[in-house]
Amino acid sequence: MFFVAMNAGAVKLSVAETLKVVCGWGDEKNIMLVKGICLPRVVVGIVAGVGLAIAGCIMQNNLRNPLAYLPALGIANAGAFRANFAIILTPNF
């Protein structure tokens, strides 16, 4: 899935070209595209997913409730309120 996600987007690279860039080969244009745009996007997605999974496990463990999830506890609503509050109070740059 890592290489499929690397190839998703506006620029179409083959899996072989992406694999060459990750291994250190490939032309300069592909290296710039993969290492500058695709790789950071995929790595941030993986890190965010891992963080959400760990947060869910911690919440279910601490509450001792295997069905505990954000909307049932009202945490999602509190997060949406905080996001709206920050958007309203943050000046536009």
46-68 pLDDT, tens digit per residue, is 999 999 899 888 888 888 888 77
Q: What is the pLDDT of residue 90?
A: 87
Q: What is the total residue count of the chain?
A: 93
From residue 50, give the alpha-carbon distance in Å to each of 25, 29, 32, 66, 70.
29, 31, 27, 18, 16
In the predicted structure, residue 88 carries a pLDDT above the cut 70: yes
